[in-house]
Amino acid sequence: MDEAVVSTFGFGLSDPALANLLQIVGLSLRVTLTALALAAVIGLPLGALIGISRFPGRKAVIIVVNALMGLPPVVVGLVVYLTLSRSGPLGALGLLFTPAAMVVAQTILIVPIVVALSRQTIEDLWGELGEHLRSLGLTDVAAVPTLLWEGRFALATALLAGFGRASAEVGSVIIVGGNIAGFTRTMTTTITLETSKGDLPLALALGGILICLTIALNAGAFAISRVGARHAG
């Protein structure tokens, strides 16, 4: 059993097993980073707009978005499953049990996080810079790109929170991806599978790799934002 742990960390790991592991890690990162990029494109402008605009029912919208940060992955998975199933409304796309389906599910999961956290950041920034930007003749909507740029380092935290949520969840991807070997098997679904096979040391080792990857990515983002902040002066 200890062999499994050792081999998983790459010592004396056979070529196919290593290739298999790298493929799983690669797929996990590709799916999660794609979902994150989509969530950023959708969530950052939306969060900024909610942050700076005033409209009736705005408080209710904020409460709903904040609540959606806690969307249960398994519910998102089920809804996406029913939507993408051949018998569902978008069945013709044939996306169920593909990586694209997992991207869709994870994007839905993390958009509320990006919206909620960026809304807060932009609202604060708008309080500081709003008058200045208005004096430059920018309308509220035209100010959104500037605000996003000014708040980029704080917004990176919102994106990291989204990344953490997406990379850690298993509930939605296992339903919409189907945990197909070599195709939709991610780190977390592999951990689920190995646990069910009773290969607990291997499952634990994979969990270790997942945590290390998350730490590495966060450290990288932290370093970039520090360097960036210094240059931005």
Q: Could you give the CA distance from residue 166 to residue 159 in angstroms, rounded to a whole number? A: 10
Q: Which of 99, 112, 151, 162 binds another protein (CB under 8 A)?
A: 99
Confirm or reject binding of residue 14 to another protein (CB under 8 A). Answer: no
Q: How many amino acids of this chain bind another protein (CB under 8 A)?
A: 43
Q: Which of 78, 123, 152, 207 binds another protein (CB under 8 A)?
A: 152
Q: Could you give the CA distance from residue 50 to residue 61 in angstroms, rounded to a whole number? A: 8
Give 2's DSSP letter. Answer: H
Q: Could you give the CA distance from residue 51 to residue 120 in angstroms, rounded to a whole number? A: 7
Nearest to 125 by CA among 224, 47, 221, 56: 47
Give 233's DSSP letter. Answer: -
Give 56 or 87: the residue with its C-beta nearer to another protein. 87
Choose the stretch contacting another protein; rule: CB under 8 A; options: 5-13, 29-37, 119-127, 220-228: 29-37
Confirm or reject binding of residue 229 to another protein (CB under 8 A). Answer: no
Return all residues near 22 (Cβ < 8 A) that are at least 6 apart: none
Give the residues lining the site for another protein (CB under 8 A).
1, 27, 30-31, 33-34, 37-38, 40-41, 44, 85-88, 91, 94, 96-100, 102-103, 145-146, 148-150, 152, 178-181, 183-184, 193, 195-200
